[in-house]
């Protein structure tokens, strides 16, 4: 009984299948790496916009404290707070706004869509 090994055609077919699988895996990992890299690049920019919105809120808070120091009371409502400024605050992240608590003079940033910012 003679032993028969793999033929040349069979070896070529196996090599082609392994090469194709390797190529597809390489494409998948390269694509995934680019996506992760893009996300890491995009998110810090969005977080920078959020930090800018928080800084805007801090400056508005300073105006509210100045009002309280001058008048002896907190502004009566959010409209009065906006009236302290030349124009309404412009937030970098669309949809962001602020809430005002007249009893304490506290301001808080309202983020409507965290995925945008």
Tens digits of pLDDT across the chain (117 residues): 566 777 888 899 999 999 999 999 988 877 777 776 676 666 666 678 888 888 999 999 999 999 999 999 999 999 899 888 888 888 888 888 899 999 999 998 888 776 666
Q: Note whether residue 90 is domain-resident.
A: yes
Q: Note whether residue 3 is domain-resident.
A: no
Give the number of domains in the chain.
1
Per-residue CA distances from 17 to 10, 11, 13, 44, 65 (Å)? 11, 10, 6, 41, 72
Q: Note whether residue 32 is domain-resident.
A: yes
Burial letters 28-61, b for 16+ CB under 10 A, else e: eeeeeeeeeeeeeeeeeeeeebbeebeebbeebb
Structural domain of residue 68, as residue ranges? 8-116
Q: Note whether residue 1 is domain-resident.
A: no
């Amino acid at each position: 009984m003679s032993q028969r090994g793999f033929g040349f055609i069979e070896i070529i077919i196996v090599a082609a299948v392994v090469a194709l699988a390797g190529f597809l895996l390489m494409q998948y990992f390269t694509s995934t790496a680019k996506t992760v890299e893009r996300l890491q690049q995009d998110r810090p920019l969005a977080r920078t916009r959020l930090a800018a919105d928080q800084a805007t809120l801090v400056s508005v808070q300073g105006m509210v404290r100045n009002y309280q120091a001058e008048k002896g009371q907190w502004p009566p409502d959010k409209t009065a707070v906006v009236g302290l400024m030349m124009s309404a605050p412009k937030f970098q992240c669309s949809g962001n706004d602020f809430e005002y608590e007249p009893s304490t003079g506290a301001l808080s940033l309202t983020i409507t869509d965290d995925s945008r910012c």
